[in-house]
Structure 1
């Protein structure tokens, strides 16, 4: 497709090809994929402009660019995604970790340190990026991570092992259905929150990700209502809940948690200024 070439010429042809397929900003994609093929840092590519690739490397790169031209996400092509400076395996069974989700981890770590909280439940764990990051960066004595998808849990366990985390208890559970007899200081979750109408209108890249991890019934509010209604039974007194928001329904979600008697409810914005996380505290009556 691209023929023989050095780094510079391959990048140029790949960028032109992706532009012809309607990708509006392909420069990052072609550089990330080429650095992956060459097993080098993207920042080093300008210093390698004249380096020629082997025939095998060119063929591999062409295959990756062809997949990207069909709007497959770069993370799935590489099978890897970065989160909190760690590396996570991803495939079609789990969502690709987003930078904005790091706010949940950062907030949980601050709460744990300030309030001396040492147990956490990660609902809808997916790739396990939240639970594994908390285990790596915090001092929690008890971390449980759950998901309804057995395939997702396989990836999460693999990510725990590859990041040298051995003490997470992974549980197959539909929200709280598989969690019994335990209470936690912190419940954290990035649940499915896209309505089915919103899902139908998503860009093609997102259609590669598992619909079960993206879309939710009740106009995208199903899991917020379920978690808000039951989390109090699984939180210790003065426990915290941290949940990622559908930024366009933050007010509705806050009302759901207000109705369920949480206290100190706060909406936290991400670095783009969008409502990204709801933070709330339990009270002593919730588990009754």
Structure 2
């Protein structure tokens, strides 16, 4: 079967379950054939082998069940990085790049900063900061051992040696450490949120998504404990849900933080909130 014929059938199969059916199909076929998607516009008439058609069909069947393309490809772009992804942790999303941008805006680029990423997952935030702050030291921690191993592989994959990763329940393995900046994209979804059964998130680990107290429990815990691990004048910042900024700012203020402020994502929703230790 020709490439253009194969893709046409794939678009039709995926159109009912994906708003990006054409892109999904192209990415999956490009993965199978080990080519870039531009190849399809140059050589649409090329025949695809039976073996490759079978592999493509298998991936399409999994996508039809809703499995995220990033998990099917086992990779995702984030910031300037190419990251390996796996079902043990969240897929890095474009909205989280806003957290990286805000972090870079408050850091003193003339010093070697010490930065902590809580709940690092793939290492996306930690490694993005490591790539932009080569003089700084970044530590990423995660409760899930498989995620820590994955983040370490991503550091090697992107040739970044100034980021290290540890298994830790939040600050549990960090006694005696202090940081200029602490960043986190913690679980912040209410356990009863209907979106947990929709789209990509239904395939992602609930432990990385869901928190008690209407999604605020982990954020509240981190704000209470973080000052013990922060240098004077250090910043703490979170990614959070689009409707949580008021609650997060209230927690910061009640804990004695100053310069509390929220920042919007590309969709115009409050997505990142920061506070500074007095």
Output the TM-score relative to the length of structure 2: 0.95
Q: Indicate whether 1:189 and 2:205 are aligned.
A: no
**Structure 1 pair 93–199 and aligned structure 2 pair: CA distance change class (3 A):** farther
What residue in structure 1 maps to residue 271 of structure 2?
Answer: 276
> Would the aligned equivalents of 2:134 and 2:162 in 1 still touch at CA under 8 Å?
no
Q: How far is 1:143 from its partner? A: 1.3
Q: How far is 1:200 from its partner? A: 6.4
The partner residue of 1:161 within 134, 137, 156 is: 156
Q: How far apart are the structure 2 equivalents of 1:117 and 1:203?
A: 42
Aligned length, in residue pairs: 278
Q: Which ranges of structure 2 fall in alignment gaps of 5 or more residues?
A: none
> Would the aligned equivalents of 2:152 and 2:164 in 1 still touch at CA under 8 Å?
no
**Structure 1 pair 180–73 and aligned structure 2 pair: CA distance change class (3 A):** same
**Structure 1 pair 100–107 and aligned structure 2 pair: CA distance change class (3 A):** same
Q: How far apart are the structure 2 equivalents of 1:28 and 1:91?
A: 21
**Structure 1 pair 246–98 and aligned structure 2 pair: CA distance change class (3 A):** same
> Would the aligned equivalents of 1:127 and 1:159 in 2 still touch at CA under 8 Å?
yes
Q: How far is 1:113 from its partner? A: 3.9
Q: How far apart are the structure 1 equivalents of 2:187 and 2:33?
A: 35
What residue in structure 2 maps to residue 286 of structure 1?
Answer: none
Q: How far is 1:199 from its partner? A: 5.7
Where do 1:1-288 residues align within 5 Å? 5-19=1-15, 22-113=17-108, 116=111, 118-198=113-193, 201-283=196-278
**Structure 1 pair 152–199 and aligned structure 2 pair: CA distance change class (3 A):** farther
Q: How far apart are the structure 1 equivalents of 2:268 and 2:43?
A: 38
Q: Which ranges of structure 1 fall in alignment gaps of 5 or more residues?
A: 284-288
> Would the aligned equivalents of 1:117 and 1:186 in 2 still touch at CA under 8 Å?
no
Q: How far apart are the structure 1 equivalents of 2:260 and 2:51?
A: 55
> Would the aligned equivalents of 1:199 and 1:215 in 2 still touch at CA under 8 Å?
no
Q: How far apart are the structure 1 equivalents of 2:215 and 2:105?
A: 29
Give the match's secondary structure for 2:197.
coil
Q: How far is 1:46 from its partner? A: 1.6
Q: How far is 1:109 from its partner? A: 2.3
